[in-house]
Structure 1
Amino acid sequence: MRQTVRHASLGERLADQLRREIIRGELEVGAHLVEDTLAARYDVSRGPVRDAFKILSAEGLLDDRRRGFFVRGFSPRDVEELYSLRSSMEQLAMQRAAEQAEPEQWGAVEAELAGMYAAAEHRDWHVFAEHDLAFHGAFYRLSGHSRLQAMWDQYQPTFGAMLDVTNEQDIDLRPSADDHAALLALTREGRIPELAARLAEHLSGSERRMTTALAPFWARATAR
């Protein structure tokens, strides 16, 4: 079936679609992705397809070989690596934000938190995930650390695709929103040791939920 992608950034939109298929195991490990085939499938030129390949290769989801791009896949090790990296990055981002953010700058984080509560009320897991990522991303901006921000920007789309898998399985999203509210309060109050412990617990719990949610996809991929 011919599918159409028509947005301003076609390469990024196509990368979003392929990223989800890779994380969910819908694209087999080792599969060769062909430019012409994907261009026809999504009704785009080859340029956006090449852009998508470059994005996903940088994220570690595709292998760039001499004969083209191949699906690297997504495994429990990938989840562990991403979360261990994020734990270190986010602790630094929140600490720096706590140390240097001005009072009026916290409004952006508060707005994302309010969006999470609203999405939880409506049980809209997709919107909740968007606000969740924006909430965490705000701390990277407030950190004033451009290279730290660049690292988050590189892997944020992968975390977004992962959150879509876990949040869609949650019946009650409010406890997660409450947890984010606690992180914000500790950061604003500059309670760094407590913040570090709470953040570690938050991300560890997220990693466990992610591994559990993705296990069926990994099992199906292994059974093929």
Structure 2
Amino acid sequence: MTAAPPAGSGTAESTGGTPRRKAVGVLLGVAVAALVADLVTKQLALSSLTGRGPVSLLGGAVYLTLTRNSGAAWSIGSDHTWVFPLITVAVIGWIAWMALRLRSLPWAVSLGLVLGGALGNLTDRVFRAPGHFVGHVVDMVSLFDPYGQVWPVFNLADSSLVCGVVLAVFLELTGRQRDGSRATAERSGDALPADQRERA
């Protein structure tokens, strides 16, 4: 018989997890939903905002303004557009590697949001003008200013990426593992030095 690990050993505590096939299915479903939503909103922006000035919403808290961005936020790296598809391919590879041991639905949602957002902007880089792999990303949402002076103009793919990353950070901080287990902290008494435990 195999001895059970001592309590408070600081290892991962199994929670049963979700079958890997289901978790990967959720990841792909979320990614496809995020990608389709991004493509639809970009097409709507192109058809309704082209040739128009910024459209104010919510009393000026949000503006719809069509822009094409060759770089990242605040047009960072606009002279090296070809780099961004390579970064996206690396992100997709990382997510595929993570999926090999994925058995957590929250992690599936997080990775699906990141994947969908990455694919949304990659589609622009590959297929939009001015050419393959140097295409400009379609952005249309600006906060508190019509021209992105307060916050960079963004799109739904950017929002998906940010939400996925924030969720991943939260899951890491709360000890939720991608394989469906949960990290357990050492018991407070065991974490104390031996002499302090004896006095306690």
Q: Same fold (TM over 0.5)?
A: no
- Which of 1 and 2 has higher RCO (CA within 8 Å, sep 6+)? 2
Higher helix share: 1
TM-score by length of 1: 0.24
* Largest Rg, 1 or 2: 2
TM-score, normalized by length of structure 2? 0.26
